[in-house]
Amino acid sequence: MSCGTLIVGNNVPEENEFNYRRKKVTLCGCVMPVKTKLMFAKCPLNKWDSFRLSKEEIAELREFVGGLPLSTLSREQVKRLYEMKSKLTGRREQPSTCGSCVASLIKEFKKQLELLD
């Protein structure tokens, strides 16, 4: 599912350009699940940015996720993790007590932060 025809690079196919209410509109070809899940991706036509976080908050997220223990997390750490997820998704996320859910969230954060480098 995408916003128009998927594009590679910065070249927009002609089928992504059309008139809507007398205005020229260009669909960006963004992959919608990526766009709505986490704001780690960036629109190739700069219609939306990669984060709802400032650079300082990204650095804080990187430091927080990098400093998490490999064993068990405290309630405060899990709560902070889900607060950051809520900020990224734009939806209120309830902290989970499921260990594998928390582990997969940490793994996803680490994966996406690596892609930024």
For every residue of 80-98, DSSP letters joined together read HHHHHHHHHHSS--PPP--
- CB under 8 Å to 93, separation ≥6 — which residues? 82, 83, 85, 86
Check residue 79 and give its pLDDT.
Answer: 92
Average pLDDT over every residue of 33-54: 57
For the chain, percent of residues with pLDDT exceeding 90 = 5
Is residue 5 over pLDDT 80?
A: no
Q: pTM value?
A: 0.57
In angstroms, the CA 43 to CA 21 distance is 23
What are the structural domain ranges in the chain? 1-50, 55-116
Residue 40's pLDDT is what? 56
pLDDT tens by residue, 49-95: 555 566 787 888 889 888 888 778 899 999 999 988 888 777 788 89
Asked whether residue 27 carries a pLDDT value surpassing 80, the answer given is no
The 8-class DSSP code of residue 2 comes to: B
Phi then psi for residue 102, to 5 deg, are -65, -45
